[in-house]
């Protein structure tokens, strides 16, 4: 406390100034005491301690994160559902045709027509007919072969054919071909006749479907 007259610093319980002798009021000490009591009554805020995370907590969070990652990966790799039937492309029929043709196959020679099946084709069929005249037998040989087997046939090697008429005057053709893309030959052969050409009339159609 300080003297109310001369301002000298005094002990808090002083009743007179030791310098000027001025009587001191006890109000200052009471105020100080009251302030001390007030401060003593003011509760000190208590900070709640943060609970410690147990071992289960450290294991649970990484496990949950792993489950989320696995779920997202499955959703990403899941194959998309096919579009509804109403949204799929309609099936279309295609035809490659020789039309009705007439031609001559020379003695010891041959003629051919080539057909191509594109990728994505299905239900591939070949239909048609032919007739031949000339010589003593009025006959012709017709074969249907793939592109590789056509090369083998040209070079006199054994040949796998989808159709082989043998030496006949006429016949109808109705065969099913693979749906794989490829090239096919319809061969009219007169190689067995060394002297007589043959007159041939024919009509051959290749049919298939695509989307």
DSSP 80: P
Indicate if the pLDDT at residue 127 is higher than 70.
yes
The pLDDT assigned to 121 comes to 95
**Which three-class secondary structure state does DSSP give residue 153?**
helix
The pLDDT assigned to 34 comes to 47
Cα 94 from Cα 210, distance rounded (Å): 8
The pLDDT assigned to 33 comes to 46
The pLDDT assigned to 5 comes to 77
Please say whether the beta carbons of 149 and 108 come within 8 A: no
How do residues 143-184 score in pLDDT, each as one tens digit?
999 999 999 999 999 999 999 999 999 999 999 999 999 999
The pLDDT assigned to 32 comes to 47
The pLDDT assigned to 64 comes to 84
How do residues 49-85 score in pLDDT, each as one tens digit?
565 656 666 777 788 888 888 888 887 777 666 666 5
The pLDDT assigned to 157 comes to 95
Task: Tell me the pTM.
Answer: 0.59
DSSP 16: B
Cα 17 from Cα 22, distance rounded (Å): 5
What domains can be seen in the chain, in order of their start residue? 1-42 (no CATH), 92-210 (2.60.120.680)
């Amino acid at each position: 406390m300080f003297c109310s007259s001369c301002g000298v610093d005094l002990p808090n319980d002083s009743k007179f100034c030791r310098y000027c002798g001025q009587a001191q009021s006890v109000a200052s000490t009471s105020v100080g005491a009251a302030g001390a009591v007030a401060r003593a009554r003011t509760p000190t805020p208590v900070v709640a301690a943060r609970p410690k995370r147990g071992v289960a907590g450290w294991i649970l969070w990484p496990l949950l994160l792993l489950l989320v990652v696995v779920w997202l990966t499955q959703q990403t790799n899941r194959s998309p559902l096919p579009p509804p039937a109403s949204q799929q492309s309609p099936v279309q029929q295609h035809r490659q045709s020789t039309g009705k043709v007439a031609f001559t196959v020379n003695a010891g020679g041959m003629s051919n027509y080539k057909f191509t099946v594109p990728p994505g084709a299905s239900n591939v069929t070949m239909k048609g007919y032919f007739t031949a005249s000339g010589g003593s037998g009025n006959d012709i040989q017709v074969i249907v072969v793939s592109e590789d087997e056509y090369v083998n046939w040209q070079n006199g090697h054994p040949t796998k054919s989808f159709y082989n008429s043998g030496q006949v005057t006429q016949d109808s053709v109705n065969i099913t071909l693979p749906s794989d893309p490829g090239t096919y030959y319809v061969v009219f052969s007169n190689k067995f006749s060394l002297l007589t050409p043959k007159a041939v009339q024919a009509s051959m159609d290749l049919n298939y479907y695509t989307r």
